[in-house]
Chains A and B, each alone.
Chain A
């Protein structure tokens, strides 16, 4: 069964120039729609064709700024495609920017509730999960403290524990494994494994080629928002590392 289908999808960002827009620029360019000075366009994704079937474990690789995270956000429904079509069947759980979106004045317990509610929990259903979440985060008494006093590592622990407490249908992950200290990373990796085995489909972005090769059966290589080969994990990763190595050699020479 096809869970996700992207049909010739493109995404173009309108990026505002930093700083104040002068009134003259606004009148001259903004009003007449040919806004060259007030904003510029970035083609983040171009001609993406992708199908994700039931049971797929898809990895996405590519250099920084290739559009990997943008593609994930588009899959998760946060960005709408500016061209082409996106079709998704099933509920998506996404793990990205996970240290964002805390109410800093509320304490850890309360934030567990808020995040849970956003993920569709009710006060009753979250009550059963709140204890396991707290235990997994290992934050102990810190949970009684407002989140504004948390270190970034603690925030990531909490966010990860909340986000992975529900069994997802389609799981989308953006390099969260690099978060937390060593002990937590091992634990997080275990949890990811069990999540990945229970989810109907998984899409991962990572720079860790070794774990990608183990986790995924298919890999998509993105570069400058365009699709490079997509295919069996081993082949694509090999091609990608080869190209990177060549680049290094050229620099060395």
Chain B
């Protein structure tokens, strides 16, 4: 394991260069370039805010950062899953030429998605600080391990999806549907309180959905200035452990043979 990670680290210049070029490629030939990464979540939030703040009866002041964090988070998860599916195919020409650890290709997808997540999160933070003032410092510090957790989960998910999709190419279409379902099962657009007031059964969804837990780790410190609940921390860590094990297992079983399926 450490040997594997250190060989990934030795190739850091390679995959970081790939991440940089991915970001550049995305806005090739556009006028405001990387500005789109900033503008897109803002515009999306503005639109949804106008629609849903009425329906959910929320003040924009609270609802905008709530939405923004939710959308940014979900953007990261879907990017990691969907681009993870393509990661080995994308790196195929390198894989066919050079025996490098395969996990660097999902890592490329994860870091690209992570960059956009950080940008979206920064916008949300600035918004919150402007409107509500600087929050509770220890709570904000808790975001650091959260980001590490998120990165590890993202990378592992990307590895799992990449392997699954190479072996069984219907995976990418299947997971698209699953992600769509999860989008509504996770409190991204709607505030959980509102759903709970309609029916207490929704608690089941919010307490056992790992993505809802992760989202709490992000939202609680930033929006409420509170440390996340122990349950959320524990559940998220357990989920991280699970996907890491799954990713390691997938690599262990299929890494060598992957080239035969590409």
* Interface residues of A, Cβ cutoff 8 Å to B: 13-14, 16, 73, 76-80, 94, 96-98, 100-103, 105-106, 110, 113-114, 117-123
Q: Is B145 located at the chain interface by the 8 A CB criterion?
A: no
Inter-subunit contact B99/A77 (CB<8 Å): yes
- A118 is contacted by which of B11, B25, B260 (Cβ under 8 Å)? B11
Q: Is B48 located at the chain interface by the 8 A CB criterion?
A: no
Collect the chain B residues with CB atoms within 8 Å of residue A123's CB.
13
Inter-subunit contact B14/A96 (CB<8 Å): no
Inter-subunit contact B96/A97 (CB<8 Å): yes
Collect the chain B residues with CB atoms within 8 Å of residue A78's CB.
95-99, 259
Given that A13-B260, A101-B94 are contacting pairs, would A118 and B14 also be in contact in the complex, using a CB cutoff of 8 Å?
yes
Collect the chain A residues with CB atoms within 8 Å of residue B97's CB.
78, 94, 96-98, 100-101
Q: Is B28 located at the chain interface by the 8 A CB criterion?
A: yes
**Chain B nearest CB, measured from A192 CB (Å):** 18
**Chain A nearest CB, measured from B213 CB (Å):** 34
Q: Is B93 located at the chain interface by the 8 A CB criterion?
A: yes
CA distance A123 to B11 in the complex (A): 11
Q: Is B21 located at the chain interface by the 8 A CB criterion?
A: yes
* Interface residues of B, Cβ cutoff 8 Å to A: 10-11, 13-14, 17-18, 21, 24-25, 28, 93-100, 256-257, 259-261
Inter-subunit contact B13/A121 (CB<8 Å): yes
A-B contact pairs, 23 of them (CB 8 A): A13-B260, A14-B260, A14-B261, A16-B261, A76-B99, A78-B259, A79-B259, A94-B97, A96-B97, A97-B96, A100-B93, A100-B96, A105-B21, A105-B28, A106-B21, A113-B17, A114-B14, A114-B17, A117-B13, A117-B17, A118-B94, A119-B98, A122-B13
CA distance A77 to B257 in the complex (A): 12
CA distance A113 to B24 in the complex (A): 16
Inter-subunit contact A103/B21 (CB<8 Å): yes
Total A-B Cβ pairs within 8 A: 63
Given that A103-B18, A117-B11, A118-B11 are contacting pairs, would A80 and B93 also be in contact in the complex, using a CB cutoff of 8 Å?
no
B104, closest chain A residue (CB): A118
Collect the chain B residues with CB atoms within 8 Å of residue A103's CB.
18, 21
B100, closest chain A residue (CB): A118
The CB with the most chain A CB atoms within 10 A, among B17, B93, B96, is that of B17
Collect the chain B residues with CB atoms within 8 Å of residue A120's CB.
10-11
Collect the chain B residues with CB atoms within 8 Å of residue A118's CB.
11, 14, 94, 98, 100
CA distance A118 to B15 in the complex (A): 9
CA distance A190 to B251 in the complex (A): 42
**Chain A nearest CB, measured from B147 CB (Å):** 26
CA distance A34 to B243 in the complex (A): 30
CA distance A121 to B99 in the complex (A): 15
B91, closest chain A residue (CB): A101
Inter-subunit contact A114/B18 (CB<8 Å): yes
Collect the chain B residues with CB atoms within 8 Å of residue A122's CB.
13
CA distance A80 to B99 in the complex (A): 10
The CB with the most chain B CB atoms within 10 A, among A73, A78, A118, is that of A118
Collect the chain A residues with CB atoms within 8 Å of residue B21's CB.
103, 105-106, 110, 114
**Further contacts, 7 of them, CB under 8 A, given A97-B96, A119-B98, A121-B13:** A77-B99, A78-B99, A79-B260, A94-B97, A100-B93, A103-B18, A120-B11
Collect the chain B residues with CB atoms within 8 Å of residue A77's CB.
99
6 closest A-B pairs by beta carbon, nearest first, are: A117-B14, A77-B99, A101-B93, A117-B13, A80-B256, A100-B93
Collect the chain B residues with CB atoms within 8 Å of residue A94's CB.
97-98
CA distance A80 to B258 in the complex (A): 10
Collect the chain A residues with CB atoms within 8 Å of residue B10's CB.
120
Collect the chain B residues with CB atoms within 8 Å of residue A105's CB.
21, 24-25, 28
**Chain B nearest CB, measured from A25 CB (Å):** 13
Collect the chain B residues with CB atoms within 8 Å of residue A98's CB.
97
**Chain B nearest CB, measured from A11 CB (Å):** 9
**Chain B nearest CB, measured from A28 CB (Å):** 16
Collect the chain A residues with CB atoms within 8 Å of residue B256's CB.
80
